[in-house]
């Protein structure tokens, strides 16, 4: 029995258990329902708007973009909060105290975050199918595109969440270092309105980060080919999407383990204790 493979297998079990616990948790159920209701109400209110130069309605275009935005948001903020909290409550230290526990722990995180995309997509897609016509216009080919965009988007963004969670000084700082940048990116990445309406520099910035590319990838999956006319260069830029997301994935695969290991090395009981005391001290 190879101990590393064994640890990964144990971690898969961990991810599955965490996923099941999350499905049963009223807190997580509430989060799914809240995002679902928010997105659907927003789209429903704008259901009669037609996108300029096309016959497509606003929800048809925005829904795939929003799924992309949701993916990036969950995969960055989710692990960032989780890791920051686990540093304070001793979960990471627990993983460190068992042989090859960190390998299993990270495996569990990756699986949990991947699986969690299923309910968060379904709570939007299923009611969306009833509320809006012609959501998916490319049939099976479109769903295949969804799969690769989601997987590549996952590899590109999850490491960012891990890095933020490892570097932030405490849970309270995830807002500043995780939430704020993500919300800014959400605003400039063509999720809610076409990117061409923005200043030139904002367009450049947003095309550096995965959010824009996951969004356009999702639109290319759901919308007819003619709708590419609304994009920059009137193209889905599929090759560029794969390249940018791939580059982030490769960079993440190199950087995240280093940052994570460095952070884990500093974990000790007294550090957990100190973090807790600091967390309780809201006023400084």
Partner 1 sequence: MRYGDVDVLDGVEFNVHRGEVVTLLGPNGAGKTTTIEVLEGFRVPSGGAISVLGADPAHADENWRARVGVVLQSWRDHARWSPRGLLTHLGRYYEPYSTPERPRPYDVEQLIALVGIEEQAEQKIRTLSGGQRRRLDVAVGIIGRPELLFLDEPTAGFDPQARREFHDIVHRLSDLEDTTILLTTHDLDEAEKLADRILILAGGRIVADGSADQLARQVTRESQVRWSRDGEQFVHATPDAIGFVRTLLGQHDDIADLEVRRATLEDTYIAMVQQHETGHPAQAATAFEEIKP
Of residues 24 through 43, those in contact with partner 1 by CB under 8 A are 25
Nearest to partner 1 of 2, 48 (CB atom) = 2
Residues whose CB falls within 8 Å of the CB of residue 235, separated by 6 or more in sequence, listed in order: 228
Nearest to partner 1 of 220, 267 (CB atom) = 267
Query: Which contacts of 93-98 are long-range, i.e. CB under 8 A and separated by 24 or more positions?
Result: 93/267, 93/268, 93/269, 93/272, 96/264, 96/267
Shortest Å, Cβ 13 to partner 1: 7
Distances (CA, A) of 268 to 91, 166, 169, 211, 280: 11, 15, 15, 35, 19
Of the candidates 68, 69, 78, 104, which one interacts with partner 1 according to CB under 8 A? 104
Nearest to partner 1 of 235, 271 (CB atom) = 271
Site membership for partner 1, residue 10 (CB under 8 A): yes
Distances (CA, A) of 155 to 12, 72, 163, 246: 17, 10, 13, 8
Shortest Å, Cβ 203 to partner 1: 43
Site membership for partner 1, residue 119 (CB under 8 A): no
- The answer to whether 65 and 231 are in contact (CB under 8 A) is no
Copy the structure tokens of residue 2.
């190879």
Site membership for partner 1, residue 6 (CB under 8 A): yes
Of residues 83 through 102, those in contact with partner 1 by CB under 8 A are 86, 89-91, 93-94, 96-101
Residue ranges binding partner 1 (CB under 8 A): 1-3, 6-7, 10, 13-14, 17, 21, 25, 86, 89-91, 93-94, 96-101, 104, 267-270, 272-273, 276
């Amino acid at each position: 029995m190879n101990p590393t493979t064994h640890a990964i297998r144990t971690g898969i079990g961990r991810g599955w258990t965490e996923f099941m616990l999350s499905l049963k948790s009223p807190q997580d159920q509430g989060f799914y329902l809240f995002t679902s209701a928010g997105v659907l109400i927003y789209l429903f209110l704008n259901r009669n708007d037609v996108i300029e130069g096309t016959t497509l309605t606003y929800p048809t275009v925005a829904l795939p973009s929003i799924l992309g935005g949701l993916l990036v948001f969950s995969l960055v903020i989710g692990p960032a909060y989780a890791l920051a909290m686990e540093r304070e409550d001793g979960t990471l230290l627990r993983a460190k105290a068992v042989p090859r526990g960190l390998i299993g722990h990270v495996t569990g995180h990756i699986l949990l975050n991947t699986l969690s995309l299923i309910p968060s997509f379904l709570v939007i897609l299923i009611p969306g199918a009833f509320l809006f016509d012609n959501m998916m216009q490319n049939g099976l080919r479109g769903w295949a595109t969804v799969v690769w965009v989601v997987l590549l988007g996952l590899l590109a963004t999850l490491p960012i969440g891990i890095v933020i969670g490892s570097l932030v000084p405490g849970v309270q700082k995830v807002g500043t270092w995780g939430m704020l940048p993500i919300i800014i990116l959400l605003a400039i990445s063509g999720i809610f309105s076409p990117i061409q309406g923005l200043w030139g520099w904002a367009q450049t910035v947003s095309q550096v980060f995965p959010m824009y590319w996951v969004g356009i990838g999702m639109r290319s999956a759901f919308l007819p080919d003619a709708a590419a006319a609304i994009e920059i260069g009137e193209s889905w830029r599929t090759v560029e999407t794969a390249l940018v997301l791939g580059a982030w994935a490769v960079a993440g695969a190199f950087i995240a383990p280093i940052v994570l290991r460095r952070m884990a090395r500093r974990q000790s009981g007294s550090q957990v204790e100190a973090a807790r005391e600091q967390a309780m001290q809201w006023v400084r």
